[in-house]
C-alpha cells in the first residue's frame, strides 16, 4: 500500500514512520524535535554567541571586568582575614610566653639576677628576683609579660640555686 522510505500521515495523530510501520509519533526523531524546540526559544543573543565563528569584543571586555571585580573582592577578603588573625589575642599570648621563656633562659646564662623591666614593642616584661623563704641560698625568679593595656599575658616562675 505505502512504499518504504516515504512519510505519510494517517487520520488523527497516528503517523507512519519511514520504514512503513504505524506509530503514534510523527516520523521526526526525538533529537530533531528537541533541538528545534530549544532553538525556537533561545534568545537571539545566545544563539549568535554560541554559533558564531568569532567572539565579540564586548563579551571579552565584560569578562575582563568581571575577573577584575572578582580578584578585587578576593584581595579584600584576604586582607580582612589577615587583619583578624593578627589581632587575635592567642597570637599575642603565644608571643608573650615565648619572650618570657627567652628572658628566663637569658637571665640564667648571663647570671644577671636583677629586678628589671624590659620593653619589647607590644609587651612589657617585668622580672623580679627575690630570696626564697624556705631556703636561704635559693632565689626565686618571677617573670611576667603585660600588654599595652596592662593585662597579664604570661607568667614564668622558677627557683634558682647558686
Our count of domains for the chain comes to 2
Please check whether residues 101 and 45 belong to one and the same domain: no
Residue 14 DSSP class: -
C-alpha cell at 1: 500500500
The confidence score (pLDDT) of residue 15 equals 52
| Coil, helix or strand at residue 102 | helix
Average of per-residue pLDDT across 93-111: 92
- Would 74 be classed as within a structural domain? yes
pLDDT at 23 > cutoff 50 = yes
Please check whether residues 107 and 135 belong to one and the same domain: yes
Q: Domain of residue 152: give its range.
A: 89-160
pLDDT at 43 > cutoff 70 = no
Whole-number average pLDDT of the chain: 77
The confidence score (pLDDT) of residue 10 equals 47
Instruction: Answer yes or no: are the C-beta atoms of 99 and 122 closer than 8 Å.
Output: no
Please check whether residues 72 and 118 belong to one and the same domain: no
- Would 16 be classed as within a structural domain? no
CA gap 99, 158 in Å, rounded: 15
CA gap 44, 27 in Å, rounded: 28
pLDDT at 31 > cutoff 60 = no
C-alpha cell at 56: 565579540
Please check whether residues 148 and 94 belong to one and the same domain: yes
pLDDT at 83 > cutoff 90 = no
- Would 151 be classed as within a structural domain? yes
At residue 11 the predicted structure's pLDDT band, cuts being 50, 70 and 90, is very low
| Coil, helix or strand at residue 126 | strand
- Would 41 be classed as within a structural domain? yes
Amino acid at each position: 500500500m505505502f512504499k518504504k522510505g516515504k512519510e505519510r500521515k494517517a487520520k488523527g495523530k497516528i503517523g507512519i514512520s519511514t520504514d512503513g510501520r504505524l506509530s503514534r509519533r510523527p516520523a521526526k526523531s526525538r533529537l530533531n524535535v528537541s533541538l528545534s524546540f530549544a532553538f525556537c526559544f533561545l534568545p537571539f543573543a545566545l544563539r549568535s554567541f554560541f554559533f558564531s565563528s568569532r567572539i565579540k569584543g564586548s563579551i571579552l571586555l565584560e569578562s575582563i571586568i568581571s575577573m577584575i571585580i572578582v580578584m578585587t573582592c578576593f584581595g579584600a577578603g584576604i586582607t580582612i582575614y589577615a587583619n583578624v588573625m593578627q589581632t587575635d589575642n592567642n597570637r599575642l599570648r603565644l608571643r608573650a610566653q615565648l619572650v618570657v621563656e627567652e628572658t628566663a633562659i637569658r637571665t640564667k646564662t648571663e647570671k644577671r639576677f636583677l629586678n628589671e623591666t624590659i620593653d619589647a614593642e607590644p609587651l612589657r616584661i617585668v622580672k623580679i628576683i627575690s630570696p626564697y623563704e624556705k631556703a636561704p641560698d635559693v632565689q626565686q625568679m618571677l617573670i611576667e609579660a603585660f600588654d599595652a593595656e596592662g593585662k597579664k599575658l604570661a607568667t614564668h616562675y622558677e627557683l634558682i640555686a647558686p
